[in-house]
Amino acid sequence: MKSFKSLGVSDILIETLAKQGIKEPTPIQEQSLPVVFKGNDIIARAQTGTGKTLAFLLPMLQRVHTDVHQEQVLIIAPTRELIKQIADEAKVLGDVIGVDVLPLIGGKTIESQLQQLGRRPQVILGTPGRLLDHAKRGSLHLDSIRRVVLDEADQMLHMGFLPDIESLIGQTDASRQLLLFSATIPDKIRNLAKAYMHKPVSVTVEGEHITLDAIEQRVYMMNVEEKTPRLIQMIQDDNPYLAIVFCNKREGAIRLSYELTAAGLNIAEMHGDLTQGRRTQILRDFAKAKTQILVATDIAARGIDIEGISHIYNYDVPHDVDYYIHRIGRTGRAGNTGIAVTFAAPADESWLRRIERAIQATLTKYTKDGQVKVKGNENAAPKRGRPTKATGPKSTYQATKAKAHKARGHKGANSRQRQTSTANSGRRRKK
């Protein structure tokens, strides 16, 4: 295995990493760092948890001209949570080499950000909307940007940020270096690369595999109007320790939250309209089981690694296979088992077939009353009149936080539930 030194990382950054317990590069860092240090554009396909943040942060920060006080690096990511994570890491590294790092996200006042931009920080991080807002105001100078990073590019595509991203990239220096990191590379991302990249180097690294065999997957077929009462009854019957209910849209999550609260369930909602501080508090309460049901959009499908999540409920069938895998991957972690329930209406049949082909398994389907309609067949392709050859990936999930340099004890749902069952007995949800 190569060392950080041999990959071009400076001694002072290596010392800073060592203090954090990071002594050896991960595969994505080993492959990406030499490419980025050379100034090449890169398309890196890597899951969250493979160490990709350092793969772009180390060379981006190290190549900043610290004696020049103007925007030089632009890092774009889809959510406030992810920007905050990257910014926290960037500030630790930036402080030791004299690089000024500024995150720009919603939930913070424009006025305070305008003051901070006045000092012309060298590294800017932000979500597309807030970055474009400052660019239009003239408070963010993009013409001096020489290096751009798109993190979680596929998620930004799904969230409708592609036009904003193109606008931001188009305002940067024409000779910029562009780094694109994404869990998947759909056609629109490839088209983006063709339009804005020059002879990009492709790098692909897989994360640690967690088999979906640890997760019992069920599908309940019913009409749309039957989903809410069935979900309420199921939550009351299952009495999950911690559970996430996923909705496809923010409006649906807000409406469902109201209905579940009216039914006496202990819930919180998580979506893109909440402030950063509110989201942080919600996740903190959820991790401590102060709130046991989280109603969320796909903003919570990636990056949440909370022990004790025993159930996932897909109130809406996701219209993207990757999101299905990311959603149910919040449970069944660290050697524990989990249950993933999907509510599907007749109109969702085609999406279910896509999911089945991708995970190479037939999902067990039930009526709304719990009668088995189709028996699941592990590792088998779904049948549509005659056996269909599966074309998707094997039934595995890329670990979200399986970072080699951040390994830690993780007892999971079963052991935690045993340990806390007595403490929780006094605060069970009202049925």
Q: What is the pLDDT of residues 81-125, one digit of tens each?
A: 789 889 999 999 999 999 999 999 877 788 889 999 999 999 999
pLDDT digits (tens, 9 = 90+) for 137-159: 999 999 999 999 999 888 788 77
Confidence of residue 377 (pLDDT cuts 50, 70, 90): low
What mean pLDDT do residues 14-31 have?
A: 91
For residue 382, what pLDDT is reported? 37
Q: 285-294, 321-330, 386-395 — which is least confidently predicted?
A: 386-395
For residue 211, what pLDDT is reported? 53
pLDDT greater than 60 at residue 266: yes
pTM of the model: 0.57
For residue 303, what pLDDT is reported? 57
Q: 39-53, 185-199, 267-281, 397-411 — which is least confidently predicted?
A: 397-411
pLDDT greater than 80 at residue 431: no
pLDDT digits (tens, 9 = 90+) for 210-220: 457 788 999 99
pLDDT greater than 50 at residue 429: no
The mean of the pLDDT values for the chain is 83
CATH fold for the domain made of 11-205: Rossmann fold (3.40.50)
Q: What percent of the chain has pLDDT over 90?
A: 54
CATH fold for the domain made of 209-417: Rossmann fold (3.40.50)
Q: Three-state SS string across the chain, please?
A: CCCCCCCCCCHHHHHHHHHCCCCCCCHHHHHHHHHHHCCCCEEEEECCCCCHHHHHHHHHHHCCCCCCCCCCEEEECCCHHHHHHHHHHHHHHHHHHCCCEEEECCCCCHHHHHHHHCCCCCEEEECHHHHHHHHHHCCCCCCCCCEEEECCHHHHHHCCCHHHHHHHHHCCCCCCEEEEEECCCCHHHHHHHHHHCCCCEEEEECCCEEEHHHEEEEEEECCHHHHHHHHHHHHHHHCCCEEEEECCCHHHHHHHHHHHHHCCCCEEEECCCCCHHHHHHHHHHHHCCCCCEEEECHHHCCCCCCCCEEEEEECCCCCCHHHHHHHHCCCCCCCCCEEEEEEECHHHHHHHHHHHHHHCCECEEEECCCCEEECCECCCCCEECEECCCCCCCCEEECCCCCHHHCCCCCHHHHHHHHHHHHHHHHCCCC
**Residue ranges, CATH 3.40.50.300, the chain:** 11-205, 209-417
